[in-house]
Amino acid sequence: MKKINYIIVSGLIVLLSGCSDFLELSPKSKANENAFYKTESDFVTAMNSVYATLYTIYGPQSLPSYFGECASDNAWCNETAGDYTDKYQLTKHQNLTAANAIVLEFWNDYYESMFKINNVISKLQSAGEFAKKVQIEGECRFLRALYYFDMVRAWGDVPLILTPVTVSESYAVPRSPASVVYEAIITDLKFAASNLPAKSSERFKGAATSDAANVLLGKVYLTMGNKTAAAQVLQQEYGKFKLETDYANLWSLKNKNGVESIFEVQYLGGKANPYSKYWAIFTPLDNRIVTKWGMGGNQVTDDLYNAYEAQDPRRDASIQAGYKDASGTTIPAKFFIKWRDTAAEINGLTEAADNNFIILRYADVLLMLTEATGDAKYMNEVRTRAGLPAYGQAGYPAKYTTLAAALQHEEQVEFAGEFHRMFDLLRHGTAMEVINNCTKEHGTITNANQLVLPIPQYVVDQNPTVIVQNEAYK
């Protein structure tokens, strides 16, 4: 694991007024941690550093991106920069080993973020009372739950670390059973839901709220197979938000944190700011006309493109089917355009784009409610927004003969490119079938053990009697 420095790094200054809608970078602070946590302002600054971890954990080259999207049937990797061999192993389900450098990088990212979160929570316990104390703890615990939820779905059993520990101490922590990790996630989310304000009263644009905690809790319950509990918590959010009338408006740079948004990562365009890179990284490799260069990440598969029904406006709002090069030749490359920012300032070969990234939105609530209750009416609200026939009505695609199949189809086209797909397939128990039958180049998955990532070999080697490798990689 990367070395964790015991200093407070103030990654962001939050504009705390109710009308603010972005975060700005602030200078790094090297204040000693023991002397630093004295005032409410100190904790707010520390919390800003915690929120800054979202840029790594949900960035375009993160675990949710590679594992959630590019390892699914939705996307394929055409990157050549960096450890591209390791990226291909992960996204093709082919020759993946515990020595994979990308998997180690993801592991480090999560546990370094956990240290920051746990450090703030720990310091709060001994701090005096101040107005935002419980709220800051709730925000920390929401993010901790979100991150552990990613980890337990990607790796299975993982070390459950709820206090700040040194690097050497972390190697001595064994993997906790997934059931124990899920219970910790639930405990954190219940605390967050009980102690955070609603979205309408969020501390700043992009802050964790009780609504975000409830929606994530509903997804956790569904993943655990507890549909009754999921339905109960998700019903609390039903009707509190609205679908955007126009699906494409979700991605408008003028509509950040819109009516459908429940939790989204905040960016500010311009190379002097915390800008986003989704647009630059998800455009075709070395295109030099759609974007300055183009990384070739998360390229759209034919499977996804062909999954859209005729007249579904979400396809053209999500995917561009090709582009013309400098000579006017059409290049038939399919790529995501949800994060398009053609006016972005250029920083080297990268667009310093202004797009936010939505992690939770109301359409997810509706589709999860159909999964939890077996009632298609919620899913049909999403289809009505797209102007498509409702499930059970004339004109609905005949090939989706069950509600479960219809729901998985809807999730695929509604959330294309948003890092949902593999996690959804795993929850539904259809990942092996879907991956083995998709058209992109891939290896064969023969058992469910191959659907989780290996524990990085470097981590195992630090304490092989404590950290046990996942079965498929022994």
Instruction: Please state, for a pLDDT cut of 70, what percent of the chain lies above it.
Output: 92
The band of 10, judged by pLDDT with boundaries at 50, 70 and 90, is very low
The band of 25, judged by pLDDT with boundaries at 50, 70 and 90, is very low
Per the CB < 8 A criterion, the answer to whether 289 and 386 are in contact is no
* Model pLDDT for residues 300-336, shown as the tens digit of each residue: 999 999 999 999 999 999 999 999 999 999 999 999 9
Distances (CA, A) of 1 to 4, 160, 388, 395, 457: 8, 16, 49, 54, 11
CA atoms of 73 and 63, how far apart (whole Å): 16
Write down how long the chain is.
474
Q: Rounded to 5 degrees, what angle do the CA atoms 432, 99, 456 make? A: 75
pLDDT of the residue at 35 = 52
pLDDT of the residue at 238 = 98
Question: Mean pLDDT, the chain, as a whole number?
Answer: 92
Give φ, ψ of 151 to 5 degrees.
-65, -45
The band of 6, judged by pLDDT with boundaries at 50, 70 and 90, is very low
| Cα Rg, the chain, nearest whole Å | 22
Q: What is the amino acid identity at position 170? A: S
CA atoms of 235 and 228, how far apart (whole Å): 11
pLDDT of the residue at 167 = 62
Res. 338: pLDDT tops 80: yes
* Model pLDDT for residues 165-214, shown as the tens digit of each residue: 866 677 789 999 999 999 999 999 999 999 999 999 999 999 999 999 99
If you ran DSSP here, which 8-state letter would residue 172 be given? Answer: T
pLDDT of the residue at 166 = 67
CA atoms of 231 and 373, how far apart (whole Å): 6
CA atoms of 9 and 6, how far apart (whole Å): 9
Res. 451: pLDDT tops 70: yes
Q: How far, rounded to the nearest angstrom, does the alpha carbon of residue 247 sit from its chain's CA centroid?
A: 20
Q: Which of the residue ranges 30-39, 195-204, 329-338, 394-403 would you say has the lowest mean pLDDT?
A: 30-39
* Model pLDDT for residues 274-307, shown as the tens digit of each residue: 999 999 999 999 999 999 999 999 999 999 999 9
pLDDT of the residue at 117 = 96
Which helix (H) or strand (E) covers residue 319, if one does? strand 319-320
CA atoms of 65 and 369, how far apart (whole Å): 25
Res. 466: pLDDT tops 70: yes
* Model pLDDT for residues 44-63, shown as the tens digit of each residue: 989 989 999 999 999 999 99
pLDDT of the residue at 168 = 67
Sign, Cα dihedral of 263, 268, 273, 277: positive
